[in-house]
Amino acid sequence: MKEVVIAPIALEEAGDKPSAGVPLVERNVALLGHVTVRLEILVGSAQLSVERLFSLAKGDAVELDTNLDDPVTLMLDGKPVAHGHLMAAGDRFGLKISEIL
């Protein structure tokens, strides 16, 4: 069997200051402008017992913890990025943004 030698290595401490070198990615939106992202809207949530969950049937309603006039949350990759209110956008839902987080 080949002997494996394990030796400690010295790592440079990460600092709070940005480095003076060239950034890995330039802050140029033109570079990423063609990339698409998926946004989701969090309207509210509900807490149900497992018994109630399993008894749900077509036509049942689940009450959410959000009032009708409360703002909803716009999510990007599971993180909140804005708040707004649902609106009609033609025959679809839309979001009128009221606050960028």
74-82: which pairs have CB atoms within 8 A and are 24 or more residues apart?
74/39, 74/40, 74/41, 74/42, 75/39, 75/40, 75/41, 75/42, 76/37, 76/39, 77/37, 80/42, 81/39
On the question of pLDDT at 94 being above 70, the answer is: yes
Q: How far apart are CA 47 and CA 50, in angstroms?
A: 10
The reported pLDDT for the residue numbered 83 is 94
Which tens digits make up the pLDDT trace of 26-44? Answer: 666 677 778 888 999 999 9
- Global pTM exceeds 0.85: no
List the domains of the chain with CATH numbers.
38-100 (2.30.330.10)
